[in-house]
């Protein structure tokens, strides 16, 4: 076990350090365990000290703290890809009657874990040199454990599974034909009509899936429907809320939650609000991207999310990530803030869609969140402010520089990430402020030598966000920055945006569907409603509390603050808190 030894400021003198040594048996074990550093401070042996925290004799000043650092486990290797390939340790445990969640950063084996549980990959237990792993070795390894019966049923083909894939945007390259025919052919439950009605995809049934007329959100719903209409023992949903708006996310969450009462269900999800709403127990995964991943034992969903946000496994005394904090701050006082942009009543008319926007203003130094369902006009409004498309009626009064990050990122630049920044955002290399607040926060220096066309969706998203926020502008319009990012990256991006906007005195407008992200980043809110695909209406900006209250009332869910972390928590439907807040008209917690 690797450990980090923290010596607080109160431990400065050589005498004090020597006195501290007397209080710890491990430290007093001899010269092989402890030596004095250059400044007369103790150095503790990492081989002998395990950071158990239960020593009887402790420093009365709490000047020494020993924290375990995340590392690979010994004796619990499940699968390894080659000599220097990725390694997975432990597995989640499917349980009937409850929905189990998996929470962790990108690139640490979440999808690999569920593919192993689904029988798509036979675990090699670290014996990567074998051409074909054996079920016999797996069963022997897991004898006497809960997973033994699971793998035995898989090996004997007595367990049926379905896995809703992560990258639904790849489906048109694999599947051809009408959506109706594809779903009918997959139906083994005779619940085709019920599933189509619940997911609201009746209007998609006659569309051809390969013709490019299906949006990302529609592909996601079709993919979920294809999983739900199969009668199997175990269902896996890999990131089922990507591309969906908050209405659709909660609709899908309710359906999966109902399914989990009868079947075994495992969900991989980055939206913490949906995970909190959906799951009873959650496995945290930690590790190093592309190197190894470790699955922890299950915890209650509240405890798991709070632990993940803290970046610290208290029971194991392991620091695995950066701490993410929420603050119950009072709303920013708008009085005295300079008006940056004003617009009167705007209208944008298309052939089959009309968008109406009530007059509003945007002030300097504030971030305005934009929320609402898909196909309601949010991106159209942002494009109007950016000058990409003109309004049919009304005017926008400003003479400002605008930086715009679009919803869909399609890089047309041939070259490396470094060359891209040198061309479009050279300030990243000349400003220490941007290097610290943007480059280092988003871990971009590790991508500098990669070409843009080789980046993953999450990596490309981070590059696009950085390029847009670094540009010299008065207002930044950022469309769906949380897409493709894991939950920790979303929190880091929201915190980065707040710091850059506050310190630069500029303004920003952010469109997103992640309630946690909007809560962390926004000072005010513009709320969209209407009939998706037909007509949309925008109202605001409101204060964050008033805007979220209006929005959540439309969604018919309530939020409260977690007492420990101050994060937003979804109240379970018809729970005491849910009924009380609805009765009081407070769908969003008070600050």
pTM for this structure? 0.82
Q: What is the pLDDT of residue 31?
A: 36
Backbone φ and ψ of 43, nearest 5°:
-115, 120
| pLDDT tens per residue across span 561-586 | 888 888 888 888 889 999 999 999 99
Looking at the 3D structure of the chain, how many domains does it have? 3
Q: What is the pLDDT of residues 546-562, one digit of tens each?
A: 999 999 998 889 998 88
pLDDT tens column, 247-294 = 899 999 999 999 999 999 999 999 999 999 999 999 999 998 888 999
Whether 196 maps to a domain, the answer reads: no
Residue 396 has pLDDT above 70, yes or no: yes
404 and 432 together in one domain: yes
Q: Does residue 23 carry a pLDDT above 80?
A: no
Beta strand segments in 176-291, E = 234-238, 264-268, 281-288
**Domain end marker among 32, 54, 69:** 69
Residues 286-345 pLDDT 10s: 998 888 999 999 999 999 999 999 988 888 778 888 888 877 655 555 555 678 888 889
Predicted pLDDT at 318: 84
Q: How many CA atoms lie within 13 A of 149 on its CB side?
A: 6
Identify the CATH number of the domain in which residue 431 sits. 3.40.50.300
Q: Are residues 530 and 560 in the same domain?
A: no
- Taking alpha carbons only, the member of 323, 244, 256, 287 closest to residue 104 is 287
- Residue 511: inside a domain, yes or no? yes
Taking residues 445-455, what's their average pLDDT?
88
Q: Is the pLDDT of residue 458 over 60?
A: yes
Q: In this structure, are 442 and 590 located in the same domain?
A: no
Q: Are residues 462 and 429 in the same domain?
A: yes
Name the E strands within 198-353. Answer: 234-238, 264-268, 281-288, 292-295, 299-300, 312-313, 318-319, 339-343, 346-349
Report if residue 252 sits inside a domain.
no
Cα–Cα distance for residue pair 244/203, rounded to 1 Å:
17
**Taking 80 as the threshold, does the pLDDT of residue 6 lie above it?**
no
**Average pLDDT for the chain:** 84
pLDDT score of 13 more than 70: no
Q: E-assigned strands of 192-279?
A: 234-238, 264-268
What tens digit of pLDDT does each residue of 475-510 get? 898 988 998 899 889 989 999 999 999 888 889 999
Residues 494 and 360 in one domain: yes
Cα first-last separation, the chain: 42
Tell me what percent of the residues of the chain surpass a pLDDT of 70. Answer: 86
DSSP track, 7-72? E-TT--SHHHHHHHHHT-TTGGG-TTTEEE-TTS-EEE-TTT----S--SS--TT--EEEEEEP--
CA 313 to mean position of chain CA atoms: 19
Instruction: Let me know whether 485 and 584 are in one domain.
Output: no
**What's the pLDDT at 319?**
85
- Which of the four pLDDT bands, split at 50, 70 and 90, describes residue 16? very low
Q: What is the CA radius of gyration of the chain?
A: 26
Count, residues in the chain: 591
As a whole number, mean pLDDT of residues 393-406 equals 84
Residues 493, 564 within the same domain? no
For the segment 42-89, what is each residue's pLDDT rounded down to a tens digit?
A: 555 555 555 555 555 555 555 555 556 667 777 889 999 988 899 999
One domain for residues 352 and 461: yes
The per-residue pLDDT for range 162-192, each reduced to its tens digit, is 999 988 877 888 888 899 999 999 999 999 9
Average the pLDDT over 407-412 and give the result.
78
Measured CA to CA, the distance from residue 489 to residue 481 in angstroms comes to 10
Q: What does the alpha-carbon distance between residue 246 and residue 434 come to, in Å, rounded to a whole number? A: 32
Q: Longest Cα pair distance anywhere in the chain, in angstroms?
A: 82
Q: What is the pLDDT of residue 331?
A: 54
How high is the pLDDT of residue 563?
Answer: 86
Cβ-based neighbours of 450, under 8 Å, separated by 6 or more: 416, 417, 459
Q: For position 16, which CATH number holds?
A: 3.30.70
Which among 69, 95, 126 is the end of a domain?
Answer: 69
Residue of 244, 320, 296 whose CA lies nearest to 515: 244
Structural domain containing residue 569: 556-591
């Amino acid at each position: 076990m690797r450990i980090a030894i923290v010596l607080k400021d109160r431990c400065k003198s050589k005498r004090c350090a020597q006195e501290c040594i007397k209080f710890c048996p491990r430290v007093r074990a001899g010269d092989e365990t402890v030596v004095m550093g250059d400044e007369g401070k103790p150095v503790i042996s990492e081989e002998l000290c395990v950071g158990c925290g239960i020593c009887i004799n402790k420093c009365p000043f709490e000047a020494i703290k020993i924290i375990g650092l995340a590392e690979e486990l010994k004796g619990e290797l499940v699968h390894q890809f080659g000599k220097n390939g990725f390694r997975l340790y432990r597995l989640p445990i499917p349980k009937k009657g409850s929905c189990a969640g998996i929470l962790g950063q990108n690139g640490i084996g979440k999808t690999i874990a569920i593919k192993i549980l689904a029988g798509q990959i036979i675990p090699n237990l670290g014996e990567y040199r074998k051409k074909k792993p054996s079920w016999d070795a797996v069963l022997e390894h897991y004898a006497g454990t809960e997973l033994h019966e699971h793998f035995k049923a898989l090996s004997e083909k007595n367990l049926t599974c379905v896995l809703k894939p992560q990258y639904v945007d790849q489906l048109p390259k694999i599947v051809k034909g009408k959506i109706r025919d594809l779903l009918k052919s997959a139906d083994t439950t005779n619940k085709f009509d019920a599933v189509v009605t619940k997911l609201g995809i009746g209007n998609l049934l006659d569309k051809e899936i390969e013709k490019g007329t299906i949006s990302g959100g529609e592909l996601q719903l079709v993919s979920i429907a294809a999983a739900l209409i199969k009668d199997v023992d175990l269902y896996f949903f890999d990131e089922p809320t990507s591309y969906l708006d908050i209405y659709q996310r909660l609709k899908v969450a309710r359906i999966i939650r109902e399914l989990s009462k009868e079947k075994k269900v495992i969900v991989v999800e980055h939206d913490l609000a949906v995970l909190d709403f959906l799951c009873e127990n959650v496995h945290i995964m930690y590790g190093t991207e592309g190197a190894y991943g470790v699955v922890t034992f299950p915890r209650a969903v509240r405890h798991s999310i709070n632990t993940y946000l803290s970046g610290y496994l208290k029971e194991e005394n392991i620091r695995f990530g950066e701490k993410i904090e929420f603050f119950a701050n009072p709303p920013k006082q708008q009085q005295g803030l300079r008006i940056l942009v004003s617009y009167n009543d705007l209208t944008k008319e298309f052939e089959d869609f009309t968008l109406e926007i009530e007059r509003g203003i945007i002030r300097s130094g504030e971030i305005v969140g934009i929320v609402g369902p898909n196909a309601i006009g949010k991106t159209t409004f942002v494009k109007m402010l950016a000058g990409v498309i003109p309004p049919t009626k009304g005017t926008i009064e400003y003479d400002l520089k605008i930086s715009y990050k679009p919803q869909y990122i399609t890089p047309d630049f041939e070259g490396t990430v470094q060359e891209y920044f040198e061309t479009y955002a050279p300030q990243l290399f000349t400003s220490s402020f941007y290097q610290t607040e943007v480059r280092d926060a988003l871990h971009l220096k590790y991508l500098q030598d990669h070409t843009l066309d080789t980046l993953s969706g999450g990596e490309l998203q981070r590059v696009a966000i950085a390029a847009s926020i670094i540009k010299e502008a008065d207002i930044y319009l950022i469309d769906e920055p949380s897409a493709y990012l894991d939950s920790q990256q979303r929190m880091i991006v929201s915190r980065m945006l707040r710091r850059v906007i506050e310190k630069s005195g500029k303004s920003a407008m952010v469109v997103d569907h992640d309630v946690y992200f909007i809560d962390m980043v926004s000072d005010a809110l513009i709320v969209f409603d209407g009939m998706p695909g037909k007509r949309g209406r925008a109202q605001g900006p409101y204060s964050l509390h008033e805007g979220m209250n209006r929005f959540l009332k439309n969604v018919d869910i309530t939020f409260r603050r977690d007492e420990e972390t101050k994060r937003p928590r979804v109240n379970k439907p018809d729970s005491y808190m849910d009924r009380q807040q609805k009765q009081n008209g407070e769908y969003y917690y008070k600050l």
